[in-house]
Structure 1
Amino acid sequence: MTQPSPIVALHGLRLTRGDRTILSDVELRVAPGEIVAVLGPSGCGKSTLLAALTGELPPAAGTVEVLGQPMPSGGRALLELRRRIGVLLQGNGLLTDLSVAENVALPLRTHTDLPDVLIRRLVDMKLHAVGLRAAADAYPRELSGGMARRVALARALALDPPLMIYDEPLTGLDPIASGVVMSLVRRLNDTLGLTSIVVTHHVHETLPIADRALVIANGGIVFAGTPAELERSDDAFVQQFLRGAPDGPIAFDAAPRAAGAVA
């Protein structure tokens, strides 16, 4: 049986910031319907990889294909592709002077010519999907952290993107809110037919809802497999990350501090 075309395909990818190589030799294929967790310690390059997936950072080498096409270098083609990628930012990015409903409606008003009555109906549907229809008239300052994250998720889904990217979706959330958000990610992925990439360092909250997991460390992918395979791995990089051990092959400091340097 013919395998479906991947939603995301990275081949021989090298990403740089200035003169410094952040990631190299990255290979990744994400199949339709998958939830892939991209895990790793702070500073390992997860955000750099996310920037490549959204076209913000062009590769120094290799290729990035998203939704069946090479990542455009800019212009209208890149804007059109970005409309088909939903991104949940770790800071939510909600506008404080707009109500919940107005925040969710913003992408629809910006990118479509739909009449107000239809926009209101779509906003109602998105808020219902995240369990917050009753909060439509509230303002971001009136919401808990978990509620604000769900509003941001509803807004990211406003244009019905086939691909969702979650950038540290659990930052600042308590354990209960974290469980609600991750369960919602899995449910929406399945019911809406999405494909999702979750970029996070929250291992134990993310693995239960993921189909596959990657671990990034020291400039590349050190593990790729199922969550069960990750738990069984005896790789030194993986074990240090899972245990949160300070000593091991994953360096805590990128380089020794020069004498007299200011902290």
Structure 2
Amino acid sequence: MTHPGPIVELSGVRLARGGRTVLDGIDLSVPRGQVVAVLGPSGSGKSTLLAALTGELEPAAGSVRLFGQPMPTRARELLELRKRIGVMLQGNGLLTDLTAAENVALPLRAHTRLPVELIERLVRLKLHAVGLRAAADAFPRELSGGMARRVALARALALDPPLMIYDEPLTGLDPIASGVVMELVRRLNDTLGLTSIVVTHHVHETLPVADHAIVIANGSIVFSGTPAELQATADPLVRQFLDGEPDGPIPFDAVARNAEAA
């Protein structure tokens, strides 16, 4: 099922919500094995792009290809494709009345017919991979924010997806937990042979582990290159975002936040 080309390929993509164009002219190629950071200010359309990558949002124009195939439109084919994509959502999404191990087991119980003993062994492996084997019987309320985020990561990895997508993985985490999570993203990407897309506005924590970075602003990709090239850029629009300046080419106050909470 492997193929030599890019894992993800967007070509001339226009994305709209409620009749309003959010992103236009999006070209993106994600090679196998890379960690790609998708950066941009709040409201820039990062979440809209993520919806297109998972097949939730059909492009108004252009094409989205995953694993060398066009994004399916039929529900059953889309469901099969999504089993090959691990998505770690904002805020963990852990079920509070289930233990860490039970949360990680959910995708395995829902999408496989593996025997209980094998599921339990796989769950232990996944928790071990994120350094939380000892927390298997803990409930989410008993975990720190960083630990809960790592349980969510273990759950996203449960079905061994070749592609991982992280949606704002550092929201609400302190700097130490942020560093642990991003280091884990890199290590798991390399040891498990994954390809990872990290959608975030946390530039300085994400760039050290990324191979490639793109910046989205004002409805399009305004930068694409290596982290070193990004940090060296003199582009005023990109610099405004990197340096957190309130005044510049990105009109922060003009963002239609109710229409697109990216």
TM-score interval w.r.t. the shorter chain?
over 0.9
Structure 2 residue 129 is matched with structure 1 residue 129: yes
* Local SS of the residue matching 1:56: coil
The alpha-carbon distance between structure 1 residues 106 and 163, as it changes in their structure 2 partners (threshold 3 A), is same
- The answer for unaligned runs of 5 or more in structure 2 is 257-262
CA distance in 2, matches of 1:4, 1:74: 25
CA distance in 1, matches of 2:255, 2:234: 27
* Local SS of the residue matching 1:22: strand
Describe the superposition over 1:52-89 as per-residue Cα deviations: whole angstroms up to 9, x where unpaired. 00000000000000112111113100000001000001
Paired residue type of 2:201: H
- Match of 1:182? 182
CA distance in 2, matches of 1:125, 1:68: 30
Residues 8-47 of structure 1 mapped to structure 2, 5 A cutoff: 8-47=8-47
Q: Which runs of 4+ in 1 moved over 3 A?
A: none
Residues 116-155 of structure 1 mapped to structure 2, 5 A cutoff: 116-155=116-155
TM-fit CA distance, 1:4: 2.9
Structure 2 residue 49 is matched with structure 1 residue 52: no
Maintained 8 Å contact 1:4/1:31 = no
TM-fit CA distance, 1:18: 1.2
Paired residue type of 1:105: A
- Match of 1:237? 237
TM-fit CA distance, 1:255: 6.6
Q: Which has more radius of gyration?
A: 1
Maintained 8 Å contact 2:11/2:26 = yes
- Match of 2:75? 75
The alpha-carbon distance between structure 1 residues 71 and 255, as it changes in their structure 2 partners (threshold 3 A), is closer
- Match of 2:94? 94
Paired residue type of 2:105: A
* Local SS of the residue matching 1:253: helix
- Match of 2:259? none
The alpha-carbon distance between structure 1 residues 255 and 166, as it changes in their structure 2 partners (threshold 3 A), is closer
Q: Percent identity?
A: 78
- Match of 2:210? 210
**Greater RCO between the two (CA within 8 Å, min separation 6)?**
2
CA distance in 2, matches of 1:209, 1:7: 19
Structure 2 residue 196 is matched with structure 1 residue 196: yes
| TM-score of the superposed pair, with normalisation by structure 2 | 0.95
Paired residue type of 2:164: M
Paired residue type of 1:89: L
Paired residue type of 2:11: H
* Local SS of the residue matching 1:87: strand
CA distance in 1, matches of 2:10, 2:216: 15
